[in-house]
Amino acid sequence: MSQSKTQQARPADPCIMVIFGMSGDLTKRLLYPAICNLGSSGLMDPQFQIVGVATDASTTDSFRQKMKQNVKEFVIDPDSARYGEQLTDSIEYISGNFKDQATYDALSKMIQTLQQQKTNKNVIFYFASPPQLMRDIAVGLNAAGLLNEENGKCFRRIVVEKPFGNDLASARQLNHDLLALMDEHQIFRIDHFLGKETVQNILAFRFANALFEPIWNHQYIDHVQISASEVLGVELRGGYYDKVGALRDMIPNHLMQMLSLIAMEPPVSLDSQHIQVEKNKVLQAVKIPTRDQVSAMAVRGQYGAGVINDKQVPRYQDEAKIAPQSPTETFAALKLSIDNWRWLNVPFYLRTGKRMKTRTTEVTIQFKPGASSLFSDGNVGALQNVQPDVLRFNIQPNEGISLQFNTKIPGTTMSLQPVEMAFKYKDYFNVKPSTGYETILYETMTGNHLLFSGAETVELSWAIVEPVLEAWGSSEPTGFPNYDAGSWGPQAADALLNKDGRKWYP
Ligand code: BG6
């Protein structure tokens, strides 16, 4: 099979990247290795500079030594490791409390000094810090004058991780608070699913091919499933997860982004603003359930003990940092509908869960049956196994796209069997090991918002799940745990589709 190279872009714009939470897990496991991978691919400007801010009382020298160790441990590619080692020698470090204005004043001085040595005034502030500090950091930066873009002479951007708020009201408040300090174009709200090649490929598949778009509507599509199942439990994140749960953690962000890419109308261009407009339009068309409708369209679950990869794993309530009687859901499934012409009566089923049977993130599109009466009992003498055509976006693992269709089994009778045409990324493209953050970091430096969530998208997504959050928040779940670790989730999730005459894939 022929191998194509990955496309080579221009180096990112020069800038100083200030990382709040420099000594944390995210930086050492994902951000710094991603910077190293970009550097070894020739995508970093030679003037690129990192300033780390953290509460640890390290000195710059001891911090550089720590980073060198991290490179050894977390950067896989040898060229990237070489770039990373060199870069550590230029890292500056500020130890300080994120709620103390003195930290931002020290940062401001440091940036001024660095700017005397470098020729650019661009700065990116990356918040790799706990979400509750987002507002404090933005306020501190603003008070130190660090968000001023000098009438477009330079850029000053903030990059924030999810969760962006905890519900609709808090997301609105956060947007309001940040937008009082800076413009929307300065804010980059990360949804790391948008950095996944296979998620970006949904746009290419839909709009760069003539074949599918004409049938991408209610006349041909029966329903859509968007499923993100994980084998992992809560690992070391119990403290965070127990307050958040599966719905908040995955649905108003990652799954809703996938839904909008699948369901949106063609954008005027690939410009991020045009794409945001279309995503927002389709999210506005998602019917918001009433509180009374929640029990018929939403299912929650929590895992009990079970066996995964031949290993016994404990129930959720026995995991570290989880309350013994915790009512937090580790599984959520929703049935949504989109109130527009294209998606009339086409349900979108969303599902996500921890400790499930396999790690699979997939979008599945089931088409309506074709002229199957030809293959019914009367015509060919035996009841045929006519399956609907199914298109699958394998987001991860085994990244690719496949189409299931019916074919004749060789032999003297007209017997049918579903088979698959499959495209796998690994058959065509040489892709270096990556953390998934490379594209995201690169786009923050080039100023492209395509892979980030806009203020309105975030609020629209929270609005869709708000009645479910309210209903679940006001009534204790019964029968938790209700699925075994290593299974496909609670029976009620199967029933959600079965009552419509459908079932979950795979
Ligand atoms: C994160 C969630 O946003 O996404 C995690 O907080 C989840 O709970 C993770 O495990 C899934 O991401 P990925 O890229 O591993 O599928």
Q: What is the predicted pLDDT for the residue at 412?
A: 86
Measured CA to CA, the distance from residue 154 to residue 96 in angstroms comes to 26
Which of 241, 254, 438 has most ligand 1 atoms within 8 Å of CB, for mutation? Answer: 254
Residue 475 has pLDDT above 60, yes or no: yes
Backbone dihedral angles phi then psi of residue 105, each to the nearest 5 degrees: -70, -40
Could you tell me the distance, in angstroms and rounded to a whole number, from the CA of residue 423 to the centre of ligand 1? 25
pLDDT in tens, 116-126: 887 789 999 99
pLDDT of residue 434: 72
Residue 228 CA to ligand 1 center (angstroms) comes to 9
Q: Pick the catalytic residue: 185, 254, 274, 449?
A: 254
Cα(504) to centroid of ligand 1, in Å? 21
Give the model's pLDDT for residue 116.
Answer: 86
8 Å CB contact between 300 and 247: yes
User: How far apart are the C-alpha atoms of 496 and 493, rounded to whole Å?
Assistant: 5
Q: At what angle do helices 272-285 and 256-263 cross, to 10 degrees?
A: 100
For atom 14 of ligand 1, the residue with the nearest CA is: 193
- For the stretch 321-357, pLDDT in tens is 999 999 999 999 999 999 999 999 999 999 999 999 9
User: Where are the domain boundaries for CATH 3.40.50.720 in the chain?
Assistant: 16-161
User: Ligand 1 centroid to 229 CA: how many Å?
Assistant: 10
Residues of the chain with CATH 3.30.360.10: 194-370+455-498
CB under 6 Å to ligand 1: residues?
A: 162, 230, 249, 361
pLDDT digits (tens, 9 = 90+) for 368-399: 987 667 776 655 555 567 889 999 999 989 89
Q: Is the pLDDT of residue 3 over 70?
A: no
Q: Reply yes or no on whether 254 is catalytic.
A: yes
Residues 348/224, Cβ–Cβ less than 8 Å: yes
Mean pLDDT of the 299-325 span:
96
Residue 124: exposure state from Cβ atoms within 10 A (0-12, 13-18, ≥19):
buried
pLDDT value, residue 454: 95
Q: Whose CA is nearest to atom 4 of ligand 1?
A: 250
Instruction: Ligand 1 pocket test: pick from 162, 189, 193, 438 the residue with the most ligand atoms within 8 Å of its Cβ.
Output: 193
| Interior/surface letters 19-54, b for 16+ CB within 10 angstroms, e for the rest | bbbbbbebbbebbbbbbbbbbbbebbbeebbbbbbb
At 435-460, the pLDDT tens digits run: 779 999 999 999 999 999 999 999 99
pLDDT (0 to 100) of residue 1: 43
CA of 244, closest atom in ligand 1: 6
Distance of CA 223 to the CA centre of its chain: 22
Give pLDDT tens digits for 57-76.
Answer: 889 999 999 999 999 999 99
- We find that the CATH architecture of domain 16-161 is 3-Layer(aba) Sandwich (3.40)
Task: Compute the average pLDDT of residues 78-98.
Answer: 95
Task: Please compute the mean of the pLDDT values over residues 175-183 and round it to a whole number.
Answer: 97
Share of the chain above pLDDT 90, in %: 83
For atom 10 of ligand 1, the residue with the nearest CA is 230
Q: What 3-state class would DSSP assign to 401?
A: strand
pTM: 0.93
Residue 8 binned pLDDT confidence (cut-offs 50, 70, 90): low
Decide if pLDDT at 5 tops 50: no
Report the pLDDT value the prediction gives residue 376, as an integer from 0 to 100: 67
Nearest ligand 1 atom to the CA of 232 is: 10
Report how far ligand 1's centroid is from the alpha carbon of 154 (Å).
34
pLDDT at position 491 is 97
Confidence category of residue 2, pLDDT binned at 50, 70, 90: very low
Whole-number Å distance between alpha carbons of 190 and 161: 5
Nearest CA to ligand 1 atom 6: 249
Measured from the Cα of 162, ligand 1's closest atom is 3
Contact 463, 171 (CB under 8 A): no
| pLDDT attached to residue 4 | 41
pLDDT at position 377, please? Answer: 60
Was domain 194-370+455-498 assigned CATH 3.20.20.70? no
